[in-house]
Structure 1
Amino acid sequence: MSMPFYVAPEQQMKDKADYARKGIARGRSAVVLQYDGGILMVADNMSRTLHKISELYDRIGFAAVGRYPEFENLRLMGVRFADVRGYQYDRSDVSGRQLANIYAQTLGTVFSESLKPWEVEIVVAEVGDSAVDDEIYRITFDGSIVDEQGFVAVGGSSEHVSTQLKDRFAADATLASALNTATRALAHENGEERELEAGNLEVAVLERAREHRKFRRIHGRRLRTLLDEGRSGTGRAAADDPDAEGGDQE
């Protein structure tokens, strides 16, 4: 009679964690950071349809890295929860912390009970009435949740990106300056600098001054102008230009 194969629980958890980390590291990073008008979300993503950055609710955004089908399921779950809670109670009763906790519980359950962990790392960001009210939560594949301050990088070689962000981050930066900080950090993802153009980037903001729904994508001419301004260190005209091309809300 063959002996049953036994693996210690500690080894199982370690193997799952290693598997998830390797899967997440194969993709490109995303960063979320504060700027003087709200929260900026930037991902290294050439796809125009498979979004890493999305809107969850009026003041809440979502950024993710890893396997697209898995974090897309999480995004849809968050949207449904927010819509139902906002309808049953009040729109102001939906918060980023609630959604972050739900994601943490879901990922923690999958990690502990499933043979295969989800290869995802996500960020939930909520813009407040002032900068001190902004909230940024990072949720990892095992359900761990961290309340980040100012900025966060996830996926890929996030350690290199975080180091670059730490050296350059300023909470009161203009949108163009914050975008330059984010793109330069992402350009050093693998320890070697490379050039990131508008076509390589997915960019969105949670604008504090925007009425009702705060989420807006930035692409096209407006994105190219902001990138040029950030590189040259010039003023904020493009960031505040109402005639500049931008993205529609989702």
Structure 2
Amino acid sequence: MAMQFYASPEQVQRDRSEYARKGIARGRSAVVLTYEGGILLVAENLTSLRKISELYDKIGFAAVGRYNEFESLRRAGVRMADLNGLAYDRRDVTGRALANAYTQTLGAIFSETQKPYEVEICVAQVGATPEADELYRITYDGSVMDEPGFMAMGGSAEAISTVLKERHDVAADLPTALALAVKGLGSVGGENGAARELGASQLEVAVLDRQRKGRAFRRIAGAALESLLGGGKDEPEPEVGEAGDTAPPAPGEDKPTVSAASVDLEGKPDDDDKKD
């Protein structure tokens, strides 16, 4: 009779943790940090798949690791936020509540399934002031940490965090904050430890803009991103209803209210009546 294989719970947990960390380390890193105008989210991304997204009005989402796994988490977070905002009030949807939900989900997956999720995510909520901004890091095992103004995720998170810690300033403007994030991402991964130069085509960038009413999430790409990388000013596109929007389309031509295929014969004699 064959002996049943036994592994202690501690060994099982260590194996799962090592498996998840190795999977996350194979991906590219992402950076989230606060600045004067809100929260900046930057990810090194060479594909069209999104690592950075919007969860709700003032709440953003960033992730590294296996795409199909963190995408399912993102979709679940959007559904939860929409349902809570509809059932109660939009102000009742908070980044802390979403972070708690992600913590419970990832913790249950890590402890109850054979394969843990190979993901690390950030839930960011912009406040009225820099002091009110919130950054939550949720790891593959359901652990959650409230980060103090900046964070890096991915395989080289420690080295990137060292660069951010030295120069992070909550009073910095957007071009300065973006330059710091790009410097941190480019500080690892080069040949023989050399720094890399990252261009606009290699980056996915978005902000949670403190000044925007309603939905604060805004993507930065194309010419706007290249301008910021060159030290230019941030010039966001005007929101719907703001001055500067294009004029509304001219009203269309009047259309008939009665179909040409049907004639109103009410009150007119029928053919049978004419025969009488």
TM-score, normalisation: structure 2? 0.83
Please give the secondary structure, in 2, of the residue aligned with 1:54. strand
- Counterpart position of 1:233: none
| Contact persistence 2:121–2:137 (CA under 8 A) | yes
| Contact persistence 1:205–1:216 (CA under 8 A) | yes
CA distance, structure 1, for counterparts of residue 148 and residue 220 of structure 2: 24
- Counterpart position of 1:134: 133
1:126-150 CA-to-partner distances (Å, cap 9, x unmatched) read 0011111100000000000000011
The answer to whether structure 1 residue 239 and structure 2 residue 234 are counterparts is yes
- Counterpart position of 1:246: none
Identity across matched positions, percent: 59
- Counterpart position of 1:121: 120
- Counterpart position of 2:6: 6
Please give the secondary structure, in 2, of the residue aligned with 1:239. coil
Greater helix fraction, Structure 1 or Structure 2: 1
TM-score, normalisation: structure 1? 0.92
CA distance, structure 1, for counterparts of residue 2 and residue 194 of structure 2: 52
CA distance, structure 2, for counterparts of residue 105 and residue 216 of structure 1: 29
State the shift of 1:165 in Å.
Answer: 0.6
- Counterpart position of 2:21: 21
1:149-182 CA-to-partner distances (Å, cap 9, x unmatched) read 1100001211111111111211111000000000
- Counterpart position of 1:169: 168
Aligned residues: 235
State the shift of 1:241 in Å.
Answer: 6.0
Q: 1:198 aligns with which of 197, 200, 205?
A: 200
Please give the secondary structure, in 1, of the residue aligned with 2:42. strand
**Structure 1 unpaired stretches of 5+:** 230-236, 244-250
The structure 1 segments of at least 4 consecutive aligned residues displaced by more than 6 Å after TM superposition are none
Please give the secondary structure, in 1, of the residue aligned with 2:234. helix
Whose Rg is larger?
A: 2
- Counterpart position of 2:213: 211
State the shift of 1:74 in Å.
Answer: 0.2
State the shift of 1:242 in Å.
Answer: 5.1
CA distance, structure 2, for counterparts of residue 169 and residue 4 of structure 1: 54
CA distance, structure 1, for counterparts of residue 123 and residue 194 of structure 2: 28
